[in-house]
Chains A and B, each alone.
Chain A
Amino acid sequence: MKTRPLLALALAIGVLPTVGCQQVKPWQRGALAEPIMSADFDPIGTQQNEHIFFSREAASGGRGVGGGGCGCN
């Protein structure tokens, strides 16, 4: 498999979001402070779901790295 296009894609993912966006000031972040705007809204639920998918599907990961273990029956 050619890795160069995928590495370019990785760089694009890391760099592109920083370009051309409006600045959000601290006093404009009321909505962002809502619990429902937290990426970590339900940490156990997210992890349990990911574990089910990891056990039943060939693909896994993408959201982050860490954890480990199996329980993959």
Chain B
Amino acid sequence: MKRADAKVLKAELRAAAPRCGRRGAALVVAASLWLARLNRAAGQDHADYRFENYQEDHGRMGIQTQTWLFEKTLRPWLTLRGQAVYDAISGNTPIGAPPPSQTKYPFPPPGPLSGSVPTAYLRDKRWAGEMEATLSYGPHHLTPQFSYSSEHDYISFGGALNYSLDLNEKNTALNLGYAHDSDSVLANSKTYILRDQSKDTDKFLVGANQLLGPNTVLTGAFTFGEDSGYLNDPYRGVLFDDYPQGNPNHPNLFAEQRPDHRESYIPYASVLQYVKPLHGSLEASYRFYADSYGIFAHTLGLTWHQKIGSRLIVSPLFRYYEQSAADFYGTQFPGDPSNPYSTVKIPTYYSADYRLSHMETFTYGAEVSARVLSWLTLDVGFKRYEMAGLDGVTSPSAYARASIVTVGTRVWF
């Protein structure tokens, strides 16, 4: 029982004892305990579990994710939040080569050629964890965070510090954040690297939340990001026109070469609007993204939360994303890097990773959340994630389309 509840209980006991005797005092104690229990049931502390099955069509990647999360206010000035994630990853992923039927061969091989991009089978598992504590002192809120993630080919250590300042009678909150990740890309028999490589990421954020009225919250933020070190994908290769090829379904590729430094600039804005007549709320967000790879991206998100009665919330969502290609993206490149006598100039940077191409993605679906008991919420959701190329060059078979099913629960305590 919380300290405030105990004080109230003592005062009630003192007041009741002279009037009603022991039986009355016992009734008051029982009633107070019941009320205290109700009060706890409606608290903000919770433990969550969510299972997500992400499955791409046509046997591409499948990822089963289990996530555990808890949030507990230990003191009025201290809230802890922790999270653990387990991913089971398996499936086929493009290796970077174009479909054999679209490959520019100096001497085309005989016979029918596949129209799909060649893929390789990957299998991995990932454990990740995060722990953060929010420390509050008056209008100041400081949240240090530590994170860790481990796969057989990747290890990440992260630290972040977020600060929030309430202003203007809590109508405004200013937000500042800094995060640093120190990652290791681990070599194995399937990677293009022979030794482990390192990568560092820094992110700075400045933003604000502003109440625009009793029903409207505006959020704005600007993030500057800087990545340095080994920024290639160690599994993606690049096909060069002049390098001799044997089996067109198993082409000989070279490791991609991306710049070892990347800066990103990300303005973000969202509006959360309560629509009283419909007992619902709309969250609309827009993000602009630009980076030193030459990529520009626009993201529009819309989520509607519909209350049905006092226990059910239905949340349909739609998201649209569009990006331009990286300056060094191509499906295949001229020349032969292994031939020092080649007269064809090899570019400094090159990648055939379809995720750096000019493309768009759509996400749509819905989630249903039901508070079945005062202390228990269940949720289930279904989404589709669909990618599509826009450059007219990259094979449509490179782009993934996936179904995402989620099932979860939240226990309030």
B210 surroundings in chain A (CB, below 8 A): 17-18, 21
**In the complex, A31 Cα to B211 Cα: how many Å?**
12
Q: B129-146: contact bitstring with A at CB < 8 Å (1 yes, 0 no)?
A: 010100000000000010
Structural contact, A57 and B297, CB atoms closer than 8 A: yes
Structural contact, A58 and B297, CB atoms closer than 8 A: yes
| B228 vs chain A, min Cβ distance (A) | 15
Structural contact, A65 and B160, CB atoms closer than 8 A: yes
| Chain B CB within 10 Å, residue with most, of A29, A45, A47, A65 | A65
| A12 vs chain B, min Cβ distance (A) | 8
Structural contact, B289 and A63, CB atoms closer than 8 A: no
Given contacts A18-B172, A23-B169, A36-B307, contact A67 B147 (CB under 8 A): yes
Which among B67, B156, B223, B224 is the interface contact of A70 at CB below 8 angstroms?
B156
**In the complex, A65 Cα to B221 Cα: how many Å?**
11
Structural contact, A71 and B151, CB atoms closer than 8 A: yes
**In the complex, A6 Cα to B204 Cα: how many Å?**
13
Of B20-28, B46-54, B102-110, the one with at least 4 CB within 8 A of chain A? B46-54
Interface residues on B, range: 35 or more
A22 surroundings in chain B (CB, below 8 A): 212-213
Which among B208, B223, B387 is the interface contact of A62 at CB below 8 angstroms?
B223
B385 surroundings in chain A (CB, below 8 A): 52, 56
Interface residues on A, range: 35 or more
**In the complex, A66 Cα to B28 Cα: how many Å?**
48
Structural contact, A36 and B305, CB atoms closer than 8 A: yes
| B383 vs chain A, min Cβ distance (A) | 8
Of B32-40, B239-247, B262-270, the one with at least 4 CB within 8 A of chain A? B262-270
| B400 in the interface (beta carbon within 8 A) | yes
Q: Which residue of A lies closest to B269 (CB)?
A: A13
Structural contact, A73 and B297, CB atoms closer than 8 A: no
Further 8 A-B residue pairs, CB within 8 A, beyond A1-B292, A41-B305: A6-B267, A43-B48, A44-B67, A44-B69, A47-B67, A58-B323, A66-B160, A71-B63
Question: What are the nearest 5 A-B pairs in CB distance?
Answer: A69-B149, A68-B158, A17-B210, A10-B222, A66-B160
Residues of B whose CB lies within 8 Å of any CB of A are: 48, 50, 52, 54, 61, 63, 65, 67, 69, 83, 87, 89, 93, 122, 124, 126, 128, 130, 132, 145, 147-149, 151, 154, 156-158, 160, 162, 167-169, 171-172, 174, 177-179, 181, 183, 201, 203-215, 217-225, 233, 235, 263-269, 272, 274, 276, 280-281, 287, 289-293, 295, 297, 299, 305, 307, 313, 315, 321, 323, 326, 355-356, 361, 363, 367, 369, 379, 381, 383, 385, 387, 400, 402, 404, 406, 408
